[in-house]
Amino acid sequence: MFPQLAQFQDLALLLLRVMVAAVFLDSGWKHVRDPETRSKSIGMSKSVTAAVGVAEILGGLGVLFGVLTQLAAIGLILVMLGAMQKKMFVWHTGFWGKQGQGWQYDLMFVVMNLVILTSNGGAYVLWKGRGW
């Protein structure tokens, strides 16, 4: 319907990457900065909480700067699938959950990272890698 908008595809992908990175960098930093408190809130050990935080930070940086973008997106998808598994099968939270604390947010980030994965982040990346 609006083919002229296709010229902004790479800019839209860059903005998507910036948004995904902002969320994961913030979350990862909270995990790494205070793993003891965060581990209690998410029901994991301090070491696993810190490891998840490091994964979120590395994935967020990869997606943000476009370095090994597809691997970063895969890593972030795995983090979110783990969060969804915990919410669905351990905490028995519904899609929306109480007070919006369901797994709809996690699913949204899985899909956002699938777009990044399949597009390799668009044109505005620092390093695409060799491809698979």
Q: CA–CA separation, 31 vs 98, rounded Å?
A: 23
Across residues 44-63, what is the average pLDDT?
A: 97
Average pLDDT value for the chain? 94
Burial of 51 (0-12, 13-18, 19+ CB in 10 A): middle
- Asked whether the predicted pLDDT for residue 107 surpasses 70, the reply is yes
- Residue 19 pLDDT level (bands cut at 50, 70, 90): very high
- Asked whether the predicted pLDDT for residue 101 surpasses 90, the reply is no
Global pTM value: 0.93
- Residue 130 pLDDT level (bands cut at 50, 70, 90): low
pLDDT at 132: 46
Neighbours of 52 (CB within 10 A): 22
Of the chain, the percentage scoring pLDDT greater than 70 comes to 97
Across residues 70-94, what is the average pLDDT?
A: 96
Half-sphere exposure of 83 (CA within 13 A, CB side): 25
- Residue 131 pLDDT level (bands cut at 50, 70, 90): low
